Chains A and B, each alone.
Chain A
Amino acid sequence: MWTWFYKLASPPYVYGVAAALMPWLLGGAALAMAYGLIAGLAVAPPDYQQGDAFRMIYVHVPGAILSLTVYMVMAAASAVALIWRIKVGHAVAAASAPIGASFALMALVTGSLWGRPMWGAYWAWDPRLTSELILLFIYIGVMSLRSAFEDPARGDRAAALLAVVGVVNVPIVHFSVVWWNSLHQGATIVKLGAPSMPGSMLWPLLSMWLGFMLFYGAVLCTRVQAEVLNRERQSAWVREAIKS
């Protein structure tokens, strides 16, 4: 089993695995999201407090969860790349950053549209919203730092360090609703004990969460292929790989 881990450090192996996995991940994502959307938009009953507006949860919550998850993946890949000098880690981190940033933006915009009918305002300087905005800024900082270096290897390492340093923000985003009096709703799924949401509303949400995760996996595969190619352009295996 450990030989599999060693193989993951090999760029051509990762390229091949990513190419093979991608269609399955995308297909799975499409199925999960199809069920989630149909059940969430048409089947689940309207909320007694929020009416049909609550349905925005089906893109807002998965988007927000993913923005944090992707950051953790990016930070972990960066740490692996820095500590063990495994270049594939940099490829994964570089590939994840734009995806995570787009999810953070999705969380902020969908949340804003949800906030307007519910709280009466498109924005509030509330701990969770603010820390999610900061997460977006950190993503942008990591991407800007990587591209500012003329030597791409050095840019990778600098961006990796910043990604690891910025990980302190992730628990702040998650626990902000616990630590401060927040306008934003508290944790309903990722918490100890049973989720505080009825099944008909919960299952589509879990399905959308799964769908978004698989979607991230699929997009990550494509991006990692590109990032690996960009870092290994002169290598011998590339010739065969790009023929397919």
Chain B
Amino acid sequence: MMSNFWSMGGYARYVWPCFGFAGVVLAWNLWAARRLLTGARLRSARALAMAAGDVR
């Protein structure tokens, strides 16, 4: 029964890459958004530090 699940009635080579790609898109969204926010916070901290006079 499990092998039936994996083979998806013979369509496995379409179904699993399909879900795989969808998963990649969702994962990318999470990763990219987090990366954007971290970068924005860093740049804000840097801008505030420079404005306060800790110029490097």
Within 8 A of B (CB), among A219-244: 219, 222-223, 225-227, 229-230, 233-234, 238-239, 242
Majority secondary structure, B binding face: helix
Name the residue in A102, A215, A226, A230 with the highest tally of chain B Cβ atoms < 10 Å from its Cβ.
A226
Q: How far is the CB of B22 from chain A (nearest CB, A)?
A: 4
Q: How far is the CB of A54 from chain B (nearest CB, A)?
A: 9
Name the residue in B15, B21, B28, B39 with the highest tally of chain A Cβ atoms < 10 Å from its Cβ.
B15
A153 at the binding interface (Cβ < 8 Å): no
A63-B22, A223-B37, A238-B44 known; A55-B28 Cβ under 8 A: no
A42-B5, A109-B21 known; A242-B41 Cβ under 8 A: yes
Interface size on B, residues (CB 8 A): 31
Contact among B9, B19, B33 for A53, CB-based, below 8 A? B9
| Interface residues in chain B, defined as those with a beta carbon under 8 Å from any beta carbon in chain A | 5, 8-11, 14-15, 17-19, 21-22, 25-26, 28-30, 32-34, 36-37, 39-41, 43-45, 47-48, 51
